[in-house]
Amino acid sequence: MAADPSVAVVRPAVGVLALQGDVAEHLRALRESGAAPAVVRRPDELDRVDGLVIPGGESTTMWKLIDVFGLAEQLRKRISGGMPVFGSCAGLILLADRLPDPASGQQTLGGIDMTVRRNAFGRQVDSFERDLVVAGLSGRPYHAVFIRAPWVEDVGPGVEILATDPGTSRIVAVRQARALATSFHPELTPDRRIHQMFVNMVRDQA
């Protein structure tokens, strides 16, 4: 049956925390997944979005900039209040409730009941790609890119494990309520299924 042209497709406003990391790549992926993407650097810009992506990058640098820009309190408030949020790689680290090996002065935003170990898969030279079976994604396996990637060491009872790395059996993708996180970088591949999953999460809470 043909789509009704009178029914408007909702393009939710999804921000990308644009302090450091793969900002442009996430903006492009969100646009291609049906969202209206926007950069977020200031508290007033955070107020204008329905969901937020925390990109891959360098988690210690990202935390320092969050603190400098005065975003920590508001980000924690929005996340704990149920704003949909998606973190990739460094974003997964920042969404963890617990870090066993934080850098000096490093904190997290929290939001997912998990323990995350930074750079657990190794240094830049140890980066790799892997085909994953990701719960909630139909069709072919997801080809994931891991760069200085963290892994999830343990999760609480409210966290759904979406994917594990077949090479190590480590947890690499999780969801808890309206928070989604991956150890790998979906923004660096042409496969938009994970971004589409997140955009649908934002639509569902609108």
**pLDDT tens, 183-205?**
999 999 999 999 999 999 999 98
The parts of the chain modelled with pLDDT lower than 70 are 1-9, 125, 206
**25 in active site:** no
Query: pLDDT at position 103, please?
Result: 83
Query: pLDDT at position 76, please?
Result: 97
Domains of the chain: 13-205 (3.40.50.880)
Query: pLDDT at position 105, please?
Result: 83
**pLDDT tens, 159-184?**
999 999 999 999 999 999 999 999 99
**89 in active site:** yes
Annotated catalytic residue within 25, 26, 187, 195: 187
Query: pLDDT at position 1, please?
Result: 44
**185 in active site:** yes
Annotated catalytic residue within 25, 26, 185, 195: 185
User: Roughly how many angstroms between the first and final C-alpha of the chain, as a whole number?
Assistant: 26
- From CA 60, how far away is CA 91, in angstroms rounded? 11
Annotated catalytic residue within 32, 89, 143, 160: 89
